[in-house]
Structure 1
C-alpha cells in the first residue's frame, strides 16, 4: 500500500509539472498578445517565470523518478512456490461440485418417487427395490446432504439480499457494522500514519525523494538561463517601480520638500528663491525624475554581481540540506495522511456498492475455496455413509485420520 502512495506522489508531481508547463505556455501567449508599452506594468512576466521554472524543477524531479538509484531499485521477485498439496487436492475435489449438486436433485426426486412406489407397488416388489436402493441411499444420502448443507449455509451468508420476514442474508443484515469494521481494519492495520512512517524509514524512499528534490533544486538554481531570467525579472521590476506615477510623484514631492527646507534654512535667499521657484523647481523635479531610473538601474548592475555569488552559496546550501529536507518530506507525508479522512473515504466507497458487488468483492478471489467447502462437506458425508454401510471401515477411517494428524505435526512449519 505504501509503495502505491509513493508512486501516486510521483505521478502527481508529473501531472503538476504538465499543468505548470501548460500555464507557462498560456502566460507566454497572453504576454505576446498584450505586449506592454514602455512604462506599463508587465503582470504576466513574473508569473511566466514562476510557471516555467517550476515546470523545469518538476521535469528534473520526474526524470529522477524515472531513473531511480541502484539502492532504491527493487530486487528480483522471489520465485513462486509450487502449489501445496491442499491446493492440488482442492482442485481435484472441486471436480465433484457439479455431480454433487445434481445428486441433490436426484435424491429429492428419488425420495418423492419412493413415496409413490410405496403406495402403488405390491409389498414384495417394493421391498426388492428398497434392498437395491438402500445401500445407494446410505452412501449418497450423507454425501448429498453434506454438500447441500454447506452450499446453503454459504448462500445464506449473502442471500436473500433484501430484508424480509423469513431470512435476511447475514452479511447484508450487518452491512453497516461490517463496512465500519473493514474500514477500521484497513485504516489501523494497513495504511495508518504510523505504518507509513515506519515503512518510509525502513525503505529509504523519503531519503531518495529528498535527494531528488536537492538534485532538481540544484539543477534549477545552477542553470544560467534561470539566473538570466531572474535578473531580467528583477530588472523589469525595478524599471516598472522607478517609472511608476507613484514614484514620480514621490520624487516631485521630495524635491519640493527639500527646496522648501533649503529656503527656510537660508532666509537671505528666501525672496530670491521665491522668485526663482516657478522656473527652477519644475526643472529640478524633472531632472530628479529622469535621473532616478538611471541610477537605480546602475545600482541593479551592482546587485546582480553579488546575486551570482549569493546563488552559488545557495547551491552549496541546498546540497547540505538533505537531512532537513528528508525530515520535512516525511513530516509532510505524515501530516497529509493524518489530515485525510481515510475512514470516510473507505466508508463512502463500501457503502456505495450494492449487495451483489459487495458479495463479489468478498468472495470473488476465493471462489475456488468456497467450492471446496461445499465439496468437502460432500466427501465427509460420503465417508460417513461408507462407515455406516461397512462397519469395518470405521477403524480404517480413524487410523487414516490419526496418520494425517501425525504427518501434520511432524511437517508443520514453526516460526
Structure 2
C-alpha cells in the first residue's frame, strides 16, 4: 500500500496529526483497542513485518481510555526474569522511540526510587536488586542518606510512622507524556496507511468454526484475516462473546494531580507501605497514584477514601506538599490477573490473539508490548519475550507472581 499523504483528504483540517476514516469492509488485521498497546502493536506490525492493511478500532476517541488516565511511570526493575526481560526490552525501545517517531514524547529518565520501610521490605528490595543485576538492569540499593541525596524533599526522619530504611534506585527509569506517545504513534501509523477508526465499538465476532474471521461493530461488520484484542479491562467482556472465560478482574484505579508548582521534585518516589507514588510532570503539577479500589467495576471513578489515604501518605513522605491544592482526580479501569502479570499470545480460536491483564503496568510496557504482540500476530507464535505470558500458564501452574515484588504501582 502506498503511504498516505498527510492531510490529503482533510483540506479543512490541515493541522490534524491523523485522519478519521470510515472503516473498510475488510483488512488483513484488525486491532481492537486504540490505546497505547493497540497503536504500538499496529506500528510494529507495519515497521517490523510490513503489514499496513490494518484497522485500529477504538470505541471512543483515540487513546481516550487508560492511555489518557495513567501516571506515566516507566521502569524495568521487576523481580522475575520473565517480567524483567519484557520491561527492559520496552525501556530500551523507549530510549530511542522519540527519535524514531520524530515526535516529542517528553521522555525523562529522572530515575525511580522504591522505598523500603521495614526489615522485610529491605530484604525483598535487596533481593530484587540482585535479581535485576543478573538480568543486566541498572538497579542499586541505596541507604537513607543516599535516598536524601537523590530526593532532598523526601522526609527521611527516623521518627516517621514508617521510616525510610533505604530504597531501590533505577537511574534509567522515569516518565513520558502519555498523550504525546499516542499522538506520535498515531501520526506515524497514519502516514503508513493504517486506518485509525474512532467511535467504533466492537460488539461481537464473525466466526467460521473455531476461526475468527471478523468483528461486528457499531459501524458495521468488518472482516479480517487476524483479530487482535488490546482493550484492557474490557477484554473479558469481548471474550465472553466467544464463550472464552479469562482470568482477569477489572478494578478502578485512581490518580490525581495538584495545581502547577515550581520544579521541586527531581525523581519518582514509590512507597508500598504507605501506598503512594509521586512524581512531578513537565508542566509542574504533582502526579499521585496509589493502589486499586478493591471492588470490581468498569466505572471510571473510585471511592473517596482511596484518594484520602493516598494524600495522607503523600503528605507524610513530603511535608512540603501539605498546602498544595488538588486540581483534578480521575480513574481508569485496570485488568488484574491472579499472578499480577499480563496475558499475551494465542487463544483457542484461530486468528484471534489476546493482550490483557497488565493491571497498573501497561504504560511502561507500551513499546515492548507492541514489538512482541506484533511478532505473535505476524508469525502465529509468541515472541520469546512474551512466550511465558501465555493463557495456558493458568492451567499448567507456571505463574509469574509479581504481587508486591515491584512496588505499589506494579
- Given the two structures, how large is their TM-score scaled by the length of structure 2? 0.16
Q: Which has the higher contact order (CA 8 A, sep 6+)?
A: 1
Larger relative strand fraction? 2
